[in-house]
Amino acid sequence: MYNEENISIGYKDPSEIAAASRSFMMRVFSWMFLALTITAITSFVWAASPALISLLIKPAGGFSILGWLVMLSPIGFVLLMSFGFQKLSAPVMMILFIVYSVLMGMSFSFIFLIYSLGTIGLTFGISAGMFGVMAIAGYFTKTDLTKFGSILLMGLVGIIIAMLVNFFLKSNMIGYVISIIGVLIFTGLTAYDVQKLKRIGTGTIADASMMSKLSVLGALTLYLDFINLFLFMLRLVGGRK
**pTM value surpassing 0.85:** yes
Q: What would the pLDDT profile of 94-117 be if each residue is shown by its tens digit? A: 999 999 999 999 999 999 989 998
As a three-state string, the secondary structure of the chain is CCCHHHCECCCCCHHHHHHHHHHHHHHHHHHHHHHHHHHHHHHHHHHCCHHHHCCCECCCCCECHHHHHHHHHHHHHHHHHHHCCCCCCHHHHHHHHHHHHHHHHHHHHHHHHHECHHHHHHHHHHHHHHHHHHHHHHHHCCCCCHHHHHHHHHHHHHHHHHHHHHHHHCCHHHHHHHHHHHHHHHHHHHHHHHHHHHHHHCCECCCHHHHHHHHHHHHHHHHHHHHHHHHHHHHHHCCEC
Q: What would the pLDDT profile of 141-169 be if each residue is shown by its tens digit? A: 999 999 999 999 999 999 999 999 998 99
The pLDDT, as a whole number, for residue 61 is 80
